[in-house]
Structure 1
Amino acid sequence: MRPDPEHDSPFRLPCNPPMSRARFLRLAAATVTGFALGTPAAAARGASSPAATMLTRPIPATGEALPVIGCGTYVGFDVAPGSAEYQRLPGVLQALFDAGGSVIDSSPMYGRAEAVTGELLAATGAHRQAFVATKVWTRGRAEGIRQMEESLRRLQVERLDLMQIHNLVDWPTHLATLRDWKAAGRVRYLGVTHYTAGAYAELEAVMRAEPVDFVQINYSLDEREAERRILPLAAERGMAVIINRPFGGGGLLRRLRGRPLPPWAADIDASSWAQLLLKFVLSHSAVTCAIPGTSRPEHMADNALAGTGAIPGRDFWERHRIDAG
């Protein structure tokens, strides 16, 4: 069993014998569709449920409200049909939607993640609840179009909410194509991504030269380089910001796990280290949404709670420092 990309833990769920893919998808559809229509427990929670309270932030290009916590699919959704890992994934989507979240981010770089995402959304009829984002990760116009067409097929959609140029690979070529696709209604938003501060100079140049809708970057308590130029520039240019690696790729969270939460965590409505670290990311006003990756329903539910309650201002973190060494 592979580690969870953000919440790697020595605790492992027991593995039942794999069921057939067809039977699993039928059960997934029943589970998540029932959830989407509202279970008695959810109805009893009413307005106090997480779905009623997850914060949203506007996409600057349109003003559309986007929930502040989503789900990344790197590693966690790159699993074989019928495997124990695959059987957990409907619960991840259920936990995301139950909390009021919608953003699911993938890439053709992530193995089977796009296909698995598409299978589960189609099986549960949950496409209407999801804000589906993926990426183009190749060179050349024709190859880029072929790859994006394949992503649409795998994700089982005719139009994508967001198509991003992965790690700026051949961005001038793909950006021209994406503008055509956006004009034709095949994508709603377009963006660029990277995951390392070493690419920020090139990213900044693109952001200054091109009117993209979204920027996706790494940002966490121990990877704060984006605060210097990228996040302020996104705010200045009216670009939505999606944050990948909000836990420092998992290493930061692993270092903190097992330590007691600081007493002041309760002041910002954080009941776990994951929530505290996500609230740090969300405390920057330029951030639109964070997408911690997970393949575990309980971790998705825990992550989502970071999007509820208090989000402190930037000065809070100057007064309350965390030794993550």
Structure 2
Amino acid sequence: MQHRTLGRDLSVSAIGLGCMGMSEFYGPRDDAESLAVLRRAVEQGIDFLDTADIYGPHHNEDLIGRFLAETGAAVKIATKFGIVRKPDEYARTIDNSAGYMRQACESSLRRLGVERIDLYYVHRLDRERPIEETMEALADLRQEGKIGHIGLCEVSAATLRRAHAVHPVTAVQTEYSLWSRDVEAGVLPACRELGIGFVAYSPLGRGFLTGRFQAGSAFEEGDFRAGLPRFAPENAAANGALVEIARGIAAGKGCSAAQVALAWLLAKGYDIVPIPGTKRLKYLDDNVAAVSVSLSEAEQTVLDQALSRLPVAGERYTPEGMKGINM
């Protein structure tokens, strides 16, 4: 497994593991299989696990805490605060207050069973609260040794610069993939200007870029993709053209479309770390193998040209899910 450095000194595996789906949003959960995936990920060299307090809610941090207690695995843990949800509800509010932050951090430390969170993200930003105030409170937690590094999710370039002026930001986490490239216009250049790492979530388009889903695909009960605009039949049909381009390149290289999508991201810069999520061993193995897939300049050009002429149909989330994005 290769390694990359986020910010000044946070070394992590070149591909991390997004753990959200082990707890909710993608159908029924199976803790036994999820624990097997976590064990296999560490065996294959992944040492960067991504979670959040709202995944479950709380179940995901509890699960990772159980894994750490059982294995003592040497991994970097990234978790998040800021989105507030009630159990069994998708509706959310955003709270970046210092009091809530401290309470959330203490709770995450307890569930994870660790003394320090390696990377602590603001999950979504509160429009009514100055980023400077939030960063000062995060700096206090870091000074106390409760967190090692500070991260921001789905932040605008302007807000990122303001935040970084208060305290160094180690990483920005935002959706980035073949069908989500908004970050290239402002956020990613700002990260590079400031020396901030970039963590790409949903690098496989919530599974769509693997080619597993077609227009009209059925979803398991509890799978939130059934309600996402890009998976609506008419949009899925249009977006399928991009998958076919990736499949064509994959066929010529003897790899999967998912590996092409991940290799494309990895080739965009050594400051980028994708965190594909899975709760299935077969998908984990496929994702890890992407670090060995190299795209030629010609293959990257084919993909980039396809992206420029194939507009993506549909928003990333529903209006509820878009709360706090690009603030």
Letter in 2 for 1:139: N
Give the C-alpha shift of residue 84 in structure 1. Answer: 6.6
- Secondary structure of the equivalent of 1:107? coil
State the Cα distance separating 1:270 from its structure 2 match. 6.3
Measured after TM superposition, the shift of residue 158 of structure 1 is 0.5
Give the aligned residue type for 1:120.
F
2:18 to 49, 55, 72: 72
Query: Which residue, out of 130, 151, 156, partners 1:191?
Result: 151
Give the counterpart letter for 2:5 in structure 1: P
Contact 2:77–2:119 under 8 Å retained in 1? yes
Structure 2 partner of 1:143:
100
TM-score (norm 1): 0.71
Aligned to 2:77: 132
3-state SS of paired residue (1:174)? helix
- 1:265 matched to 2:263: no
Among 210, 213, 230, the residue aligned to 2:187: 230
Unaligned runs of 5+ residues in structure 2 are 83-94, 215-239, 313-327
1:224–1:118 CA distance, 2 compared to 1 (3 A):
same
2:86 aligns with none
Query: Given the alignment, which residue of 172, 180, 183 partners 2:132?
Result: 172
Counterpart residue identity of residue 299, structure 1:
Y
The structural deviation recorded for 1:87 is 0.9
The answer on whether the counterparts of 1:283 and 1:312 sit within 8 Å (CA) in structure 2 is: no
Cα offset, 1:207, TM superposition: 5.6
In the alignment, is the contact (CA less than 8 A) between 1:282 and 1:311 conserved in 2? no
Q: Indicate the residue corresponding to 1:308 in structure 2.
A: 292
Q: CA RMSD in A?
A: 2.8
Cα distance in 1, alignment partners of residues 243 and 192 from structure 2: 36
The residue that corresponds to 1:247 in the other structure is 204
Deviations 1:161-217 (A, max 9, x none): 1101112235433321221222232211111012xxxx5355445466453111111
The answer to whether structure 1 residue 221 and structure 2 residue 181 are counterparts is no
Contact 1:162 1:191 in 2 (8 A): yes
Over 3 Å counting, the alpha-carbon distance change for 1:266 and 1:250 in structure 2 is closer
Say how many residue pairs are matched: 260
The 3-state SS of whatever aligns with 2:21 is coil
Letter in 2 for 1:318: T
How far apart in 2 are the matches of 1:291 and 1:76? 14
Q: Distance in 1 between matches of 2:60 and 2:52?
A: 7
Secondary structure at 2:269 match in 1: coil
Rounded Cα–Cα distance in structure 2 between residues aligned with 1:102 and 1:312: 28
Report if aligned partners of 1:270, 1:306 keep a CA contact under 8 Å in 2.
no
Would you say 1:119 and 2:66 are equivalent positions?
A: yes
Stretches of structure 1 lacking an aligned partner (at least 5 in a row) = 1-53
1:200 and 2:145 matched: no
SS state at 2:148 partner: strand
- Provide the rounded CA distance (Å) in 2 between the counterparts of 1:226 and 1:290: 14
Deviation at 1:108, TM superposition (A): 1.2
Query: Alpha carbons of 1:202 and 1:270: their partners in 2 closer, same or farther (altered >3 Å)?
Result: farther
Superimposed CA distance per residue, residues 96-141 of structure 1 (whole angstroms, 9 cap, x where no aligned partner) = 1122111111111211111111112212222x2x110001213321
- Residue pair 2:169, 2:196 contacting (<8 A) in 1 also: yes
User: In percent, how many aligned pairs have the same letter?
Assistant: 27
- Residue 265 of structure 1 aligns to which amino acid in structure 2? A
Contact 2:66 2:112 in 1 (8 A): yes
Aligned to 1:161: 118
CA distance in 1: counterparts of 2:105 and 2:201, whole angstroms = 21
Query: Which residue matches 2:266?
Result: 282
Which whole-Å CA distance do the structure 2 matches of 1:286 and 1:229 have between them? 18
